[in-house]
Amino acid sequence: MKLSLFRYILSRKLKGVKRYPLVLQLEPLFACNLECAGCGKIQYPTDILRKRLTPEECWTAAEECGAPVVTVAGGEPLVHPEIDRIVQGLVERKRYVYMCSNAILLEKNLHRFKPDPHLILSIHLDGREPTHDRAVCRKGVYRTAVESIKTAKAKGFQVMTNSTIFSGEDPAEFRQFFSECAAMGIDGMMISPGYAYEKAPQQDIFLKTEETKKWFKDALGDWRQQGWDFNHSPFYLDFLEGKRDYECTPWGIPLRNVFGWQKPCYLLADGGYAKSYAELLATTEWHRFGRASGNPKCAQCMTHVGYEPSAVEDSFSSLPKFFELLRDVASTARLARTAHARQTKSYETLVAEYNSRESPEAKPVPSAS
């Protein structure tokens, strides 16, 4: 996938394309089987929550946009009755597909999908068991997710985790979480600070800019040496730690949902909705958004949907930056292989040791072997 992305970006550079998408964020529905504290989707009225994009609408969006990667999110995608057709159609179009899920329905639906190099199951895990269950406002979801990861890996699927960081979380706990995920044998981790959706039930759980930098510096300061496999540009992780500074690239990860193409980005709909991707690019007043614009809704944002594309753009901005990226990626991959080779403790052992330090009465977690 990385080679395909390199070729795609280089082709856009050589053609002089100024604004191009890296990832299509596709939301075929808003409905979900959870009501998470930081979610901006579940508060829509019932008639909106019942809306669905058809498979044909999803495939058309992918073809319109042209991004090599499609993230299928929501809501909970597995609630969609035709999610298997949607995913299969995207894979047939040679898109790399991240199908997001909270994993509650995953095991009973795995038979609807086939392992494929173009398909990655992206499982929502916002930390270790107590932290995750608190974030999703339901006990037991973490354990269900771990069991689902185990089953999916056993059946040959690629599995990654995606985590949202909220205010008050302990960086030390997440360092343990990253090591546990690595011991579980997952294929990569995605991580981002949360965004303060206006519709989110709780508004006091989102990090401010300086809090974000401090948190990620404490949590990720030696991530390369630890061998943690993050599915991000290393430049973006540097940005989260405050080592690099970027402006937002809102067109880099456009959103197509049940309303249309959201303007300007995945997180904000202040510009309304466009009927096509071309209209999105042509009619969005891009100067009104991003931190440099002075827009207060953008002031505290450091999420991957706006800044991962900025980091990628920076890495292709000059030959020295490009070679810096290549060296970083190669070195990180080597350290990850070394860390994996010397990993002698299983996921269960790591969890048990940590829980015994935190609480002698901590309950065991399900096996991931």
Residue 105: both structure tokens together: 């329905």
- Per-residue model confidence (pLDDT) at position 360: 43
Element (H, E) at 192: strand 189-193
Q: Is residue 189 part of a domain?
A: yes
Q: What is the pLDDT of residues 345-357, one digit of tens each?
A: 677 777 777 777 6
Q: What is the pLDDT of residues 310-345, one digit of tens each?
A: 999 999 988 999 899 888 888 887 777 777 666 666
Name every residue whose Cβ is closer than 8 Å to that of residue 363 and which is 6 or more positions away in sequence.
none
What's the domain range around 302? 2-358
Q: What is the pLDDT of residues 97-106, one digit of tens each?
A: 999 999 999 9
In the predicted structure, residue 367 carries a pLDDT above the cut 70: no
pLDDT band for position 210 (cuts 50, 70, 90): very high
Q: Which residue has the higher pLDDT, 331 or 216?
A: 216
Q: Is residue 220 part of a domain?
A: yes
CATH number at residue 147: 3.20.20.70
Helix axis angle for 209-220 and 171-184, nearest 10°, is 50
In the predicted structure, residue 203 carries a pLDDT above the cut 90: no
**Which alpha helices (DSSP H) does 255-346 contain, by range?**
277-283, 304-315, 319-341
Q: Is residue 369 part of a domain?
A: no
Q: How far apart are CA 292 and CA 109, in angstroms?
A: 44
CB 316 within 8 A of CB 13: yes
CB 165 within 8 A of CB 215: yes
Percent share of the chain, pLDDT over 90: 64
pLDDT band for position 200 (cuts 50, 70, 90): low
Q: What is the pLDDT of residues 59-70, one digit of tens each?
A: 999 999 999 999
Count of domains observed in the chain = 1
Q: How far apart are CA 226 and CA 273, in angstroms?
A: 43
Helix (H, G, I), strand (E, B) or coil at 359: coil
Q: Is residue 289 part of a domain?
A: yes
pLDDT band for position 76 (cuts 50, 70, 90): very high
Q: Is residue 161 part of a domain?
A: yes
- Per-residue model confidence (pLDDT) at position 262: 95
Helix axis angle for 141-154 and 171-184, nearest 10°, is 30
DSSP state of 102: -
Q: What is the pLDDT of residues 252-307, one digit of tens each?
A: 999 999 999 999 998 888 889 999 999 999 999 999 998 889 999 898 999 999 99
Q: Is residue 365 part of a domain?
A: no
Q: What is the pLDDT of residues 217-232, one digit of tens each?
A: 999 989 988 889 999 9
